[in-house]
Structure 1
Amino acid sequence: MGDIQQRIHELRGILKGHNYRYYVLDAPQISDAEYDQLLRELVDLEQKLGEPIPDDSPTQTVGYKPDTAFSSRKHAVPMLSLANAFSDTEISDFVRRHKELLGDNTNLTYIAEPKVDGLAINIYYEFGQMVYAATRGDGISGEDVTDNIRSVSGIPWRLTGQVPAQLEVRGEVYMSKASFLALNQKQEAAGEKLFANPRNAAAGSLRQLDASITAERKLSFFAYAIGLGGDAFASSQSELLAKLSAQGFAIQETALLADEQAMFEHYQLWMKKRPSLDYEIDGMVFKVNDFKQQKLLGSVARSPRWAIAYKFPAEEVETVVEAITWQVGRTGVITPVANMKPVLVSGVMVSRATLHNIQELGRKDVRVGDRVVIRRAGDVIPEVVKSLSIGDPSRSQPTLVPKQCPVCYAAVEQEDGEAAIRCMGGLSCSAQLKERIKHFVSRDGFDIEGFGSKLSEALVDKGLIKTIADVFNLDYEVLSTWEGMGEKKITNLEQSIESRKHIVLSRFIYALGIRHVGQATAMSLAQHFRTIDAMQTASEEALLEINDVGKEVAASLMHFFAEEHNQQVLQKMFEYGVQVQAEQAVEIDSNHPLAGKTVVITGSFSNIKRNQAKILLQQLGAKVASAVSKNTDVLIAGEKAGSKLKKAEELGVRVVDETQLLAWLA
């Protein structure tokens, strides 16, 4: 059970960190789908452990404790968050569960509401008079933003007629697309930082200590729920919204739907309407309309059973390519990047998107001046979908592939059978060293708080870091002379670095940035060899015994550990106090359908990263291999599965899709 407890502890810390970044800093770092996957894993492990779950576990709370800049307000009725769905199958399961709990003959009606991408607010009225307004916070209490909420349109200060003596009205504060663009234009003119998206802008604006700044930013509000006093106010969601509208609250367009087929059709309708709206929505919310039925269905710790948010796929928009530049990664790979006229995509202002490699650049035939379609894959990473200018005789010439590194001017080479071109300058190339350092200190590596991208770049530029080992031997006296590096910031950085000197083997291997070795392969190596010494001295034959290691990966590992420079760097790290802890064995559930099975993953997935899926499958007892063979039991195929799918079909290997993958992981 020790491994389960350790993973639970780790997941709680990770999720609390993401809650803090989302609810307090207004700067989320992962997509909803990635967060949801981590949360589901924690739910399963807590149930498997069978011990009492603490009240502050992310599975029992919503959001994060309020910021100390505002006084705290406790909600009379807790504010729950909604469970997310990403496929029709999940919606069908949602409806099926209701029929099982309420009976097949129960007359169920659902109400559909667009899901606004904003900030949840609870407004408390006493005898019809607004008393205070608070953010969601941790679901139990939030920040008092009463002064600021009074400037938000769509919220009456006083209610009239027959209303409960005490009433909590819930809804979403948001910023329209027009207000967002105007705000960023003002920020740019003043030389200040631009907001990434309307949701962050709305959250930052509402949480201003100066309410006059909030008033200038023209926030809006949609009411959608009720807390205290709800039982006496309405008997259904549709009646509630009608009464709130009569009181002067802004509400959205809604529809009553009889079954899941109507839900699917309504979802498609609003997905088409989404780009034309003046505000951002990221899905549709479906709720059981009748409040008595809602009460019978009840809630789990975080969310009601009677409501679900069906999230939209990535939005596609058009823009113009202004330049194509070349970016150097940590392994020397040189990637073409499209620099575009800034455009709002799924709530984020996008001006750059990767073109992946020279083959992809040629296949899509993207050129400077082209009109292109872009989207954010998984609503996170911008990518160019296609050019709309192909065939236009006035187009510019194709972009030339560089023969020298754009940073260090070393030679550029392309290995046989590879799509990528590489700078051959190694760590003498400052761009490679910067990216290597960023990877080394990243969340999945040493996870050093306060060691961000800008600091990594500055340390390399100033010569304070020449190898990854130098992270643990910084000259803090020199750092103290830098602008913006105050005593407290340096102390926090030093403590963070010191606290991360003890690291488990899998994270250490991943942090080294060895070519072809991702998180899943690092985990396989760590589970097999247990110690860094055993892995460093492993023969090719020993490496190839691991399912996830082929000849290419084995060659890369042996080359890395054979190189004298790398051995010197490792020795320096150990001298600076880094201690690599042996990997603990994963406790396998022998009853899981994938336990002991050889699994291959190929293609791209919408709701989970492939590396994350590999790790989770390994923890279930699956042997994750890199190639399809007669020994493969299952191929999990995403979009653009390619040759592995073809080979699996030829060999008669069972093929499943992302839906089955998520079901197994759940």
Structure 2
Amino acid sequence: MENANVLAQITLLREELNEHNYNYYVLDQPVISDLEFDQKLKKLQELEQLYPEFFDEDSPTQRVGGAVTKNFPTIVHENRMYSLENSYSKEDLIDWENRIQRVLGNVPVEYVCELKYDGASISITYENGRLVRAVTRGDGFQGDDVTNNIKTIKSVPLKLKGDFPEKFDIRGEIILPLAGFEKMNMELIDIGETPYSNPRNTASGSLKLQDSAEVAKRPLECLLYNIVGANNFFNTHAHSLEAARSYGFKVPNHSKLVKNLDEVFDFISYWDTHRHDLPYETDGVVIKVNDLFQQEELGYTAKNPRWAIAYKFKAEQASTVLDMISYQVGRTGAITPVANLQPVQLAGTIVKRASLHNADQIEKLDVREGDTVFVEKGGEIIPKIVGVDFNQRQPDSQPTEYITHCPECHTELVRKPGEAQHYCPNFYECPPQIIGRIEHFISRKAMNIDGLGGETVALLYKNGLVKNYADLYELTKEQIVPLERMADKSADNLLKGIQESKKIPFERVLFALGIRFVGETVAKKLAKHYQSIDALMQADYDALVHVDEIGDKIALSIRSFFKNESNLELINRLKNYGLQFEIETKENTQVSTKFEGMTMVVSGKFETFSRDEIKQKIEDYGGKNGSSITGKTSVVVAGADMGPAKLEKATKLGIPIWTEEEFINQLEN
């Protein structure tokens, strides 16, 4: 009986503390003092220590952290985390709405306006009302598992309240309020340490701290703004935000449902002035189509949702002196001029360097060494020079003469017709190009080799151990250990990372090769189409340009790459080392070849099947799902409320349109 009484006491304390946490960290409406809260928490800790059989990982006592994570596992997002298209003017937003209306067919569209929080993106998965996983944005396809650290943030609920979906992801930003950031910096200054540069970077860095107890000490908050994977539970985005609040999430109450773009402009105008009154940093407004069915109709581009856009407030600007122009050589040989500046504070960071883009930009701005220049952050991320203060130019100032030879290998530069940048043509001997290609090869989106970073690549190259990325697979521990900053464990980790990379799938190996214009998305398209590197190498120009999204420029670059004997030798070496040069065969769900060779677009609302089920049926029967209606579309499967623009385009192109009933008949026949 005593145990039953203890469990009842523990349960009551947990419920009370969870409610007080919610009142304090989510609602900002505490009902007891900090002292009373601490006393209850201490009492609960004592009982849990005396009765370990009643341990609960969701207990408020677990918020203090203590778990140590030395390596953050990479987790593939079940639902991709897209980035947002940026806009900077009313005209950009009007163009965006026009694109929406072309798809939806001039129907009324409501929008939800939200502030764009300047923090670290996070995706948190809940199953049966319990937090099971938290993953950083990463590259949008996969990120780092930071669950232990996220559980220490008190505005993140460990268990949900109310009527919630069985499983879903919720997206948000981990932010560091300005008051908390200033307090942290004052504490560092008091002990003679260097203060942090800005709240955003500090919040992002906090997520990767190895000791969750250290994360718990930081006044981080989590602001949530989007539920993913539970569309059948809601009809509108506004409804999902209200629901998220009722589940216990901290969803800022600054969001607003509006009827038209004029109301969007009013929202932007208000917050452009009042954002400085907020307790945290924000750099713009996010506008989303409210109706979730309309969102589904609009779909996605390769990078962005078509149903949402970010409006960025005007970038902060500062003036400083340009001391010197230097030139960087990229992995493709492209030359980038860089302005080396006298340090200046800009949008929360100290800026010392800014991009000058190319020779044309330097000539257009008439930028010279010694000039006082105006610097701003493009999208408030990458500093760039936007003008010169000619009133402060020195009388003896001389126009900038763009370099004619590579600053690294001294080869004469070339500039192809129609291209803005100069290039060093010494592709196989120029050190920065060699190092750059290896850095690209080992990067996270490519081979993701743990234990190997840019500095180590440069070290290996300078010591004559690698001259290309294939050489990595011949490295030995005896070669690595004597190098600067290397030891037994570092060498073991590096070699282990190289061996593990042999499991990386073909599409990422193809991206890692560094073929010009073949980015991550194009590599996936090519891998899926050709299935193996051998088939891709044999493809001629005409075959390549018929692949989805492969144009003239990409096709020529691919053919040029595979004509080069040095590249073919590298690929043969990588094959021999055991890298994946074929698509991994997956379980085949195909039941028929009825739709083989057909590209089908699904649009509208359906009764018997969901859209996802129809798309799966298309693949099961040998067909391919298309994202938009083009001349290559074979059939449109149309449900109720199909977008008028899609209907008009399909009709104009003479593409057959099947109803859901006709589609089902095709399956049954």
TM-score w.r.t. length of structure 1? 0.51
Is the CA contact (8 Å cut-off) linking 1:540 and 1:555 kept in structure 2?
A: yes
Report the equivalent of 2:319: 319
The number of residue pairs the alignment matches comes to 435
Q: Deviations over 1:191-216 (max 9, x none)?
A: x7x8453233367689898999999x
Alpha-carbon deviation of 1:520?
3.6
Query: Given the alignment, which residue of 590, 601, 613 partners 1:591?
Result: 601
Alpha-carbon deviation of 1:447?
2.2
Report the equivalent of 1:420: 421
Amino acid at match of 2:577: Y
Q: Deviations over 1:254-279 (max 9, x none)?
A: 89999776664243233245579896
Query: Given the alignment, which residue of 359, 371, 374 partners 2:376?
Result: 374
Q: Determine the C-alpha separation between the residues in 2 that align with 1:324 and 1:566.
A: 34
SS of equivalent residue, structure 1 residue 580: coil
Report the equivalent of 2:233: none
Q: Determine the C-alpha separation between the residues in 1 that align with 2:550 and 2:113.
A: 51
Cα 1:542/1:362, change in 2 over 3 Å:
same
Q: Determine the C-alpha separation between the residues in 2 that align with 1:256 and 1:548.
A: 37
Report the equivalent of 1:294: none
Alpha-carbon deviation of 1:325?
1.3
Amino acid at match of 2:389: S
Cα 1:208/1:183, change in 2 over 3 Å:
farther
Cα 1:421/1:275, change in 2 over 3 Å:
farther
Report the equivalent of 2:282: 281
User: Which shifted more, 111-120 or 420-429?
Assistant: 111-120
Is the CA contact (8 Å cut-off) linking 1:176 and 1:278 kept in structure 2?
A: yes
Q: Determine the C-alpha separation between the residues in 1 that align with 2:467 and 2:441.
A: 13
Matches within 5 A, 1:258-337: 264-272=265-273, 274=275, 280-283=281-284, 312-313=312-313, 315-320=315-320, 321-337=322-338
Is the CA contact (8 Å cut-off) linking 1:65 and 1:142 kept in structure 2?
A: no
Is the CA contact (8 Å cut-off) linking 1:410 and 1:424 kept in structure 2?
A: yes
Report the equivalent of 2:611: none
Q: Determine the C-alpha separation between the residues in 1 that align with 2:153 and 2:310.
A: 29
Q: Deviations over 1:171-204 (max 9, x none)?
A: 96434699499779969996x7x84532333676
Report the equivalent of 1:507: 508
Alpha-carbon deviation of 1:327?
0.6
Amino acid at match of 1:371: V
Alpha-carbon deviation of 1:466?
0.6
Q: Determine the C-alpha separation between the residues in 2 that align with 1:389 and 1:275.
A: 28
Amino acid at match of 1:373: V
Q: Determine the C-alpha separation between the residues in 1 that align with 2:451 and 2:176.
A: 31
Q: Deviations over 1:204-238 (max 9, x none)?
A: 689898999999x9x7999999xxxxxxxxxxx9x
Is the CA contact (8 Å cut-off) linking 1:587 and 1:619 kept in structure 2?
A: no
Cα 1:69/1:177, change in 2 over 3 Å:
closer
Larger radius of gyration: 2
Q: Determine the C-alpha separation between the residues in 2 that align with 1:546 and 1:255.
A: 42
Q: Determine the C-alpha separation between the residues in 1 that align with 2:552 and 2:206.
A: 54
Q: Determine the C-alpha separation between the residues in 2 that align with 1:484 and 1:118.
A: 31
Matches within 5 A, 1:162-201: 173-175=176-178, 179=182, 195=196, 197-201=198-202
Alpha-carbon deviation of 1:366?
2.9
Amino acid at match of 1:590: M
User: Which shifted more, 256-265 or 481-490?
Assistant: 256-265
Is the CA contact (8 Å cut-off) linking 2:175 and 2:200 kept in structure 1?
A: no
SS of equivalent residue, structure 1 residue 590: strand
Cα 1:495/1:339, change in 2 over 3 Å:
same
Matches within 5 A, 1:208-287: 264-272=265-273, 274=275, 280-283=281-284
Report the equivalent of 1:529: 530
TM-score w.r.t. length of structure 2? 0.51
Matches within 5 A, 1:129-168: 142=150
Q: Determine the C-alpha separation between the residues in 2 that align with 1:556 and 1:467.
A: 20
Q: Determine the C-alpha separation between the residues in 1 that align with 2:445 and 2:188.
A: 36
Is the CA contact (8 Å cut-off) linking 1:119 and 1:173 kept in structure 2?
A: no
Is the CA contact (8 Å cut-off) linking 2:330 and 2:432 kept in structure 1?
A: yes
Amino acid at match of 1:436: R
Q: Deviations over 1:358-400 (max 9, x none)?
A: 12222233333232131143x54x1425104257653743322
Is the CA contact (8 Å cut-off) linking 1:412 and 1:424 kept in structure 2?
A: yes
Report the equivalent of 1:477: 478
SS of equivalent residue, structure 1 residue 558: helix
SS of equivalent residue, structure 1 residue 384: strand
User: Which shifted more, 349-358 or 547-556?
Assistant: 547-556
Is the CA contact (8 Å cut-off) linking 1:282 and 1:346 kept in structure 2?
A: no
Alpha-carbon deviation of 1:498?
1.4
Amino acid at match of 2:460: L
Cα 1:341/1:118, change in 2 over 3 Å:
farther
Is the CA contact (8 Å cut-off) linking 1:503 and 1:581 kept in structure 2?
A: no
Report the equivalent of 2:568: 567
Is the CA contact (8 Å cut-off) linking 1:439 and 1:445 kept in structure 2?
A: yes
User: Which shifted more, 505-514 or 314-323?
Assistant: 314-323
Q: Determine the C-alpha separation between the residues in 2 that align with 1:525 and 1:84.
A: 23
Q: Determine the C-alpha separation between the residues in 1 that align with 2:562 and 2:113.
A: 60
Q: Determine the C-alpha separation between the residues in 1 that align with 2:461 and 2:263.
A: 57
Cα 1:581/1:119, change in 2 over 3 Å:
closer
Is the CA contact (8 Å cut-off) linking 1:316 and 1:345 kept in structure 2?
A: yes
Is the CA contact (8 Å cut-off) linking 1:84 and 1:310 kept in structure 2?
A: no
Alpha-carbon deviation of 1:531?
1.7
Alpha-carbon deviation of 1:571?
1.9
Amino acid at match of 2:408: V
Structure 1 vs Structure 2: percent identity of aligned residues?
27
Report the equivalent of 1:355: 356
Is the CA contact (8 Å cut-off) linking 2:367 and 2:388 kept in structure 1?
A: no
Is the CA contact (8 Å cut-off) linking 1:373 and 1:386 kept in structure 2?
A: yes
Q: Determine the C-alpha separation between the residues in 2 that align with 1:112 and 1:518.
A: 32
Is the CA contact (8 Å cut-off) linking 2:330 and 2:433 kept in structure 1?
A: yes
Cα 1:462/1:112, change in 2 over 3 Å:
closer
Q: Deviations over 1:383-430 (max 9, x none)?
A: 425104257653743322111111122221222332221112222111
Does residue 394 of structure 1 match 2:394? yes
Cα 1:592/1:398, change in 2 over 3 Å:
farther
Q: Determine the C-alpha separation between the residues in 2 that align with 1:573 and 1:178.
A: 48
Alpha-carbon deviation of 1:476?
2.3
Cα 1:172/1:181, change in 2 over 3 Å:
closer
Is the CA contact (8 Å cut-off) linking 1:502 and 1:580 kept in structure 2?
A: no
Cα 1:114/1:579, change in 2 over 3 Å:
closer
User: Which shifted more, 171-180 or 357-366?
Assistant: 171-180
SS of equivalent residue, structure 1 residue 319: strand
Report the equivalent of 2:67: 68
Q: Determine the C-alpha separation between the residues in 2 that align with 1:418 and 1:83.
A: 30
Cα 1:322/1:569, change in 2 over 3 Å:
same
Amino acid at match of 2:67: T
Alpha-carbon deviation of 1:593?
6.2
Alpha-carbon deviation of 1:112?
8.7
CA RMSD of aligned residues (A): 5.7
Is the CA contact (8 Å cut-off) linking 1:327 and 1:334 kept in structure 2?
A: yes
Is the CA contact (8 Å cut-off) linking 1:329 and 1:432 kept in structure 2?
A: yes
Q: Determine the C-alpha separation between the residues in 2 that align with 1:114 and 1:542.
A: 44
Cα 1:187/1:462, change in 2 over 3 Å:
farther
SS of equivalent residue, structure 1 residue 490: helix
Q: Unaligned regions of 5+ residues in structure 1, if any? A: 1-63, 71-81, 93-103, 105-109, 121-135, 150-170, 226-236, 238-251, 287-307, 595-617, 625-630, 634-652, 655-666
Q: Deviations over 1:121-160 (max 9, x none)?
A: xxxxxxxxxxxxxxx99789855589xx9xxxxxxxxxxx
Does residue 458 of structure 1 match 2:468? no
Q: Deviations over 1:637-656 (max 9, x none)?
A: xxxxxxxxxxxxxxxx99xx
